[in-house]
């Protein structure tokens, strides 16, 4: 039978990887929805009412799926990681309780008004509801990331031993909750959510532009999304660069894994690409076994903020076992590479917009369509770097992951739920995709498909009979 430790870790990986999609959608959509609602109420223009109503439908389904997959995570700390919960409960439980009361309650109640109440409540209460729902989603991230960041850079605690198990005692709540990682993580995550949703919006809009079925609705969507991308994509890279330095300082083992740096060395180059020369080196990207494209001194410069001779601690000089280096190394490169692509895409779109040819560049439209869910994929990669890079620790330097698993859990039980989640969550993702596609197809003002020869006919909205 499967090892309950492995099964629990796999299960937590599956359930978080699926769950995070939905908060990204709701946190990213929230500022757009507040803007659309505000414009709708201020200007009374139909386009904003349409934008608000359409994107609220996407928000609603994302929120529901986010709720049901989120409760799973809260329960899993107890079911699968009971030892972790006992060790860290004193520090870790508080933020979760406060998150439920302060944030989740706010969003879930005012969401009822925001989704169902446009005709029932005053403009003022409706506007307030949109703001409170948005505030709720962003506050939720505050408390969840406080809990997570403390696991990366734990501060403000003492350790006592109780019947052979370490128990974390809260000593200084300000140091613990305002730990060094939290602000980095929060800014990086929230901007990533906005960036991912802007990419999604631009991608969907670009599809209709490319198909020549765009209306004012889709053109507006695309412009708003590109405007947001022009700010959020470069910001993410600049911020990420500084975040990387912070990781090098506070979690040298993780940084070494991100760079596949085994030996402690000075003047380290940045491995831009490392082509595996054998199957083994794909899973163990040690620099010496690889064909490496390296930018000299750059890793040292990145880690130190400008010193090409700076020393980087290698994995061999960290006393614990290594994290799975290959996963961290490749996930980090893929994340950064995609981030660079988003900047390029944003400027390409911005340039066409400036030229006045935004809706005529088919290649650009295709690039946006192809990138529509890449933002979310990049968030996943970033979280893989964060979480896998912290291994073997679940709380950095305090508790190892295998020691956090519920002691009484059997392999059979763990296998049953793991298999259940793989099945249920595959179905869930399929359903979510199906519903989103249906909403996009049916609920937005879109021109019907036109035969090829009638393309570019002047203003054919609603008058061209569709053949099907």
The site for other proteins (CB under 8 A) is made up of 60-61, 63-65, 67-72, 74-75, 77-80, 82-83, 85-86, 89-94, 96-102, 104-106, 108-113, 115-117, 120-121, 125, 169-175, 406, 408-409, 413, 416-417, 420, 424, 428, 431, 435, 438
User: Phi and psi (nearest 5°) for 171?
Assistant: -115, -50
Residue closer to other proteins, measured from CB, 17 or 298? 17
Selection from 29, 51, 28 nearest residue 39 by Cα: 51
User: Is the distance from CB of 55 to CB of 36 less than 8 angstroms?
Assistant: yes
How near is the Cβ of 463 to other proteins at its closest, in Å? 28
Hey, is 394 helix, strand or coil? strand
How near is the Cβ of 132 to other proteins at its closest, in Å? 8
Q: How far is CA 73 from CA 8, 10, 80, 201, 402, in A?
A: 12, 13, 10, 28, 18
Residue closer to other proteins, measured from CB, 32 or 92? 92
User: Is the distance from CB of 36 to CB of 204 less than 8 angstroms?
Assistant: no
Residue closer to other proteins, measured from CB, 344 or 419? 419
Residue-wise burial string across 230-265, b where 16 or more C-beta atoms lie within 10 A, e elsewhere: bebbebbeebbeebbbbbbebbbbbbbbbbbbbebe
How near is the Cβ of 377 to other proteins at its closest, in Å? 24
How far does CA 77 lie from the centroid of its chain? Answer: 21
Neighbours of 10 (CB within 10 A): 16
3-class SS string, 210-256: HCCCCCHHHHHHHHHHHHHHHHHHHHHHHHHHHHHHHHHHHCHHHHH
How near is the Cβ of 23 to other proteins at its closest, in Å? 14
Angstrom distance (rounded) from CA 248 to CA 256: 8
| Strand extents, DSSP E, 281-388 | 291-295, 311-312
Tokens representing residue 318 in the block = 């960290």
Residue closer to other proteins, measured from CB, 63 or 218? 63
How near is the Cβ of 69 to other proteins at its closest, in Å? 8
Angstrom distance (rounded) from CA 36 to CA 219: 15
Residue closer to other proteins, measured from CB, 22 or 243? 22
How near is the Cβ of 256 to other proteins at its closest, in Å? 33
Residue closer to other proteins, measured from CB, 88 or 229? 88
Residue closer to other proteins, measured from CB, 175 or 231? 175
How near is the Cβ of 381 to other proteins at its closest, in Å? 26
Residue closer to other proteins, measured from CB, 92 or 368? 92
Hey, is 456 helix, strand or coil? coil
Neighbours of 309 (CB within 10 A): 11
Angstrom distance (rounded) from CA 221 to CA 357: 16
Residue closer to other proteins, measured from CB, 76 or 284? 76
Selection from 47, 444, 438, 367 nearest residue 207 by Cα: 367
How near is the Cβ of 408 to other proteins at its closest, in Å? 6
How near is the Cβ of 428 to other proteins at its closest, in Å? 7
How near is the Cβ of 122 to other proteins at its closest, in Å? 10
Residue closer to other proteins, measured from CB, 12 or 243? 12
């Amino acid at each position: 039978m499967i090892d309950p430790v492995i099964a629990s870790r796999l299960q937590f990986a599956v359930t978080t990887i699926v769950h995070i999609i939905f908060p990204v959608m709701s946190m990213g959509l929230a500022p757009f929805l507040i803007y659309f609602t505000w414009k709708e109420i201020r200007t009374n223009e139909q386009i904003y009412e349409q934008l608000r109503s359409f994107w609220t439908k996407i928000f609603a389904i994302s929120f529901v799926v986010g709720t049901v997959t989120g409760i799973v995570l809260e329960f899993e700390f107890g079911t699968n990681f009971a030892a972790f919960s006992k060790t860290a409960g004193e520090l870790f439980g508080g933020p979760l309780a406060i998150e439920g009361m302060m944030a989740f309650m706010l969003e879930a109640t005012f969401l009822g008004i925001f989704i169902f109440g446009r005709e029932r409540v005053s403009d003022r209460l409706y506007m307030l509801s949109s703001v409170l729902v948005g505030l709720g989603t962003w506050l939720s991230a505050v408390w969840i990331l406080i809990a997570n960041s403390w696991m990366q850079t734990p501060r403000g605690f003492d350790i006592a031993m109780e019947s052979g198990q370490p128990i974390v005692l809260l000593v200084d709540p300000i140091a613990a909750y305002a730990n060094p990682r939290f602000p980095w993580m929060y800014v990086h995550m929230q901007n990533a959510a906005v960036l991912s949703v802007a990419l999604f919006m631009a991608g969907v809009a670009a599809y209709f532009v490319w198909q020549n079925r765009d209306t004012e609705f889709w053109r507006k969507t695309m412009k708003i999304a590109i405007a947001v991308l022009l700010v959020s994509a470069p910001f993410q890279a600049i911020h990420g660069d500084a975040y990387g330095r912070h990781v090098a300082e506070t979690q040298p083992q993780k940084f070494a894994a991100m760079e596949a740096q085994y030996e402690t060395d000075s003047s380290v180059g940045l491995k831009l690409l490392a082509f595996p020369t054998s199957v083994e080196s794909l899973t163990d990207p040690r620099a010496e076994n690889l064909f490496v494209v390296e930018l000299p001194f750059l890793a040292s410069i990145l880690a130190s903020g400008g010193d090409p001779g700076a020393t980087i601690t290698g994995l061999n000089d960290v006393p614990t076992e290594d994290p799975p280096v290959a996963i961290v190394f490749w996930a980090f490169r893929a994340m950064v590479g995609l981030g660079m692509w988003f900047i390029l895409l944003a400027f390409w779109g911005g340039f066409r917009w400036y030229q006045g040819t935004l809706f005529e560049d088919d290649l650009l439209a295709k690039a946006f369509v192809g990138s529509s869910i890449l933002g979310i994929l990049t968030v996943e990669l970033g979280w893989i770097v964060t979480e896998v890079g912290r291994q073997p620790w679940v709380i950095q330097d305090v508790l190892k992951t295998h020691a956090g698993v519920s002691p009484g859990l059997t392999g059979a039980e763990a296998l049953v739920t793991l298999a259940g989640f793989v099945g249920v969550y595959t179905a869930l993702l399929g359903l979510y995709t199906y519903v989103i596609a249906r909403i996009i197809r049916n609920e937005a003002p879109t021109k019907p498909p036109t035969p090829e020869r009638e393309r570019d006919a002047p203003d054919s909205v609603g008058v061209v009979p569709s053949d099907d």
